[in-house]
Amino acid sequence: MAFVLMALRRPAPRARPRGHLRDRRRCDARRAPLCGPPGRHRARHRDSDDRPDRHPAAAARVPGRVDRDGRGRRGGLRTVAGGPADPFAARARLRGDRDRRRRCAHPGVRGPPRLPARARAGRGRGHGRDAARGGAPAGSRARGTAGHGRVRGHVCGRPPLAFRRRRADAGRRRRRLLGRALDGPAPRVDGEADAAAVALARLRLRPRLQSRLMDTLVRGGTVVLESGRLRADVLIRGSRVAGLLDPRESAGFKARVIDASDLLVLPGGVDVHTHIGIQFGEFTTRDDFGSATRAAAFGGTTSLLEFAFPEPGEDPAEAVERRISQASGQAVIDFGFHAAIAQHADADALAGIERAAKLGAPTVKVFTAYRGIMMLELGDVMAVMREAAKARSLVMVHAETEAIVERAVGELRERGIADARHHPQARPGIAELDAARSVLRLAAETGAAVYLVHVTLPEVAEEIARARADGVRAYGETCPHYLFLDESVYSTPHGERFVCSPPMRSATAARGLWRTLGTSLTGVHSDHCCFDSEQKKVYASDSTRIPPGLPGVETRMPLLISAALSGRLSMPDVVRLCSSEPARLFGMQGKGSLLPGMDADLIVVDPRARHRLDGLHMATDYTPFAGMEIRGRIETVVAGGEVLVSAGRWVGEKPAGRYIRRRRLEA
């Protein structure tokens, strides 16, 4: 399906005499439609038989709107080479006195669709074209689907200088052009009409702004969705995906092109479990929102959620507000926060769950471990679940029974073997399994939705599946280090670097976790915690005092992509586990997919490349996956329509990450 683009031609020096200008004053700009049946004033203006000639030259031009030398009057149109129509083109509002009533130059193509009243308000005067010139016949107009978003963007456009001098009152600046906020996938609309509208609107843009609003086309790749793969080009308009196009139809499209020939195009990763710039005991992680989000982007993650742990005297909502202010202006990708309640679930803390949800943070984190630092007793956990159920918030739980951990640590210390090599024995698997069962029973009692973080045992995943079968809204995640590593890492020369809670389990447990992905466990997230090797070795002889956590926000997506290319799971499974399902569960509208109308967050992967996980960008001096060879390389990263990484190099400009206000759970 082909469309015809329009282009403005500069007029002859005497193309618009004063008599013509006086006639145009009769047009009612605010009530005139963008295209469609002409009104009485327009009929008088266009029909040479109904009005007297005010100027001889004007009379000569009326029938065909063409000067004697073949050039059109000021603002006339001429046909230029065009490509196929964009079936998902967003409606564009035409601005300025010259554009409002123009029609396509091809007689078989209808004019641009009429815009909603709020988009038409404030448009300047304009004039159309006659059928004698090849325009649409009188009374015709596009019948496209009504737009469902709001017009946004602020682009200044000014009428021509001669026109401003004669009509100062019509020289006001117009704004709101070419762009809108979408709340879901865009409907299929009339391709020719919308393509023509977009083409005309672009011609009104100032040259210095043209490049900023130009479409981007990711061409030649294989798009991977959670439902499967397809050969398609991804059209990006502004910060949204405008369409998935047949490669044969996008050949003549005017856009900035990202060459993805023979490459894979995936939605950007969504990481819902990270710890950035936090303090644990006497240690503080080495990163901040700037360095962590930059590393995340290099690793293919374009949205992340962090935790807002309250400081003394803060309630959960106040902690969320504080963390939003810390991340704003630093983050290079979009970010959000989970509320948290630590140590005591008093009345203020419980009331903060609802207030945090109103701020767009409808999740709350609790711990059954780390007594005196984070831990809540089970009675407090139950109270949190009741309030969370009322607020339609999801309860995230670090599930380890602290009493079992304390007993195991005491026995190891009596034997003098509390170092990192024995960390798995200090936090045994039964502590995790026992806490998971208790938490799931509380969720069944209170009606709360519960999410178990960093699951390390297939037995815990089975408990989640069993609870879900009984009607409990139970979910769970695991992390890459529990899939790709096992407890043998603690016997290496630098075993303290791998200390995390819960610890890595046996190789058998790791293999069992792979079988639960996509069924019992719905996500794989990094649990990123960026301590460095110097901090880790301070208390290497006592694993209970080593700051727990591993850096991993940059390695999560590459590891899962490599596993898919190696046949351990499918590429749509990677999208489901790392993007679409987390975005859906955590209420992140517009994330996790490349369907039209979604946020333009995507990565381009070379499936043939092989490389080692070295030379990373996280603010630490090591990675637990150092030296591991993986398949596939992330070549390009686009977040919000802006290219952040190209050919493996950073090309992003100033931080543009936005706070994600998330939706609550369905009732």
Last residue of a domain, one of 198, 213, 228: 213
Q: What angle do CA 354, 355, 358 make, to 5 degrees?
A: 90
Domain co-membership, 442 together with 512: yes
pLDDT, tens digit (0-9, with 9 covering 90-100), for 176-191: 333 333 333 333 334 4
Of 213, 239, 264, at which residue does a domain stop? 213
Domain encompassing residue 80: 5-213
* Whether 366 and 501 share a structural domain: yes
Q: How confident is the model at residue 269 (pLDDT cuts 50, 70, 90)?
A: very high
> Residue 167: which pLDDT band, with cuts at 50, 70 and 90?
low
Q: Is residue 165 part of a domain?
A: yes
Q: Which of 13-22, 232-241, 522-531, 597-606 has the lowest mean pLDDT?
A: 13-22
452/112: higher pLDDT: 452
Check whether 456 has a pLDDT greater than 90: yes
Lowest mean pLDDT among 169-178, 246-255, 356-365, 617-626: 169-178
- Asked if the bond preceding 159 is cis, omega within 30° of 0, the reply is no
Q: Say which range, 46-60, 218-232, 327-341, has the weakest mean pLDDT.
A: 46-60
What pLDDT shows up at residue 221? 97
Give the CATH number for residue 462.
3.20.20.140
- Structural domain includes residue 164: yes
The pLDDT tens digits for 516-556 are 999 999 999 999 999 999 999 999 999 999 999 999 999 99
Confidence tier at 656 by pLDDT (50, 70, 90): very high
Q: Are residues 298 and 169 in the same domain?
A: no
Q: Residue 148: which pLDDT band, with cuts at 50, 70 and 90?
A: very low
Residue percentage of the chain with pLDDT more than 90:
65
What integer is the mean pLDDT of 242-258?
86
Average pLDDT over residues 492-504: 97
Name the pLDDT band for 250 (thresholds 50, 70, 90). Answer: confident
Residue 474 backbone phi and psi in degrees, to 5: -120, 135
Contacts of 269 (CB under 8 A, 6+ apart): 296, 299, 300, 301, 302, 303, 556, 557, 578, 579, 603
DSSP codes, 476-507: EEE-HHHHH--GGGGGSTTGGGG--SSPP--H
pLDDT for residue 247: 87
pLDDT, residue 254, reads: 82
Query: Count of CB atoms within 10 A of residue 329's CB?
Result: 12
Alpha helices in 93-244 (DSSP H): 117-120, 161-166, 191-203, 207-213
* 174 in a structural domain: yes
- Residue 162: the pLDDT is 61
Residues 373 and 459 in one domain: yes
Inside any domain, residue 241: no
Per-chain mean pLDDT for the chain: 78
- The arithmetic mean of pLDDT across residues 113-136, rounded, is 42
Q: Is the pLDDT of residue 102 over 50?
A: no
In the sheet with 216-219, reading across from the earlier edge strand, the strands are 240-245, 233-237, 216-219, 256-259
Q: Are residues 282 and 196 in the same domain?
A: no
Residues whose CB falls within 8 Å of the CB of residue 443, separated by 6 or more in sequence, listed in order: 385, 395, 449, 450, 467, 472, 473, 474
In a domain, 187, yes or no: yes
Q: What is the pLDDT of residue 577?
A: 98
207-246 tens-digit pLDDT: 334 444 568 999 999 999 999 999 999 999 999 999 999 9
Domain count, the chain: 2
Q: What is the pLDDT of residue 160?
A: 61
Over residues 379-402, mean pLDDT? 98
pTM for this predicted structure? 0.71
Q: 227 in a domain, yes or no?
A: no
Q: Is residue 361 part of a domain?
A: yes
Say if residue 109's pLDDT is above 90: no
Angle, helices 402-415/429-446, rounded to nearest 10 degrees: 170
* Cβ pair 630, 612 in contact under 8 A: yes
Q: Which of 173-177, 442-446, 554-558 has the lowest mean pLDDT?
A: 173-177
Q: Tell me, what's the pLDDT at 299? A: 98
pLDDT at 280: 86
Q: Looking at per-residue confidence, does 1 or 556 come out higher?
A: 556
Last residue of a domain, one of 520, 554, 588: 554
Q: pLDDT (tens digit, 9 = 90+) per residue, 565-582?
A: 999 999 999 999 999 999
**What per-residue confidence (pLDDT) applies to 610?**
96
Percent of the chain with pLDDT over 70: 68
Q: What is the pLDDT of residue 309?
A: 96
Q: Specify if 262 maps to a domain.
A: no
- Angle, helix 458-469 to helix 507-516, in steps of 10 degrees: 30
Radius of gyration of the chain (CA): 30
pLDDT bin (cut points 50, 70, 90) of residue 163 is low
- The confidence score (pLDDT) of residue 667 equals 78
Q: Are 192 and 294 within one domain?
A: no
Residue 6 scores a pLDDT above 50: no
Taking Cα atoms as reference points, which of 652, 483, 629, 653 lies closest to residue 568?
483
Range with lowest mean pLDDT among 124-128, 271-275, 416-420: 124-128
Residue range 338-353: mean pLDDT, rounded: 96
CA neighbor of 367 nearest in space, from 411, 408, 398, 331: 398
Segment 39-46 long-range contacts (CB within 8 Å, at least 24 positions apart): 42/101, 42/128, 45/127, 46/127, 46/128, 46/130
Q: Are 193 and 299 found together in one domain?
A: no
The band of 155, judged by pLDDT with boundaries at 50, 70 and 90, is: very low
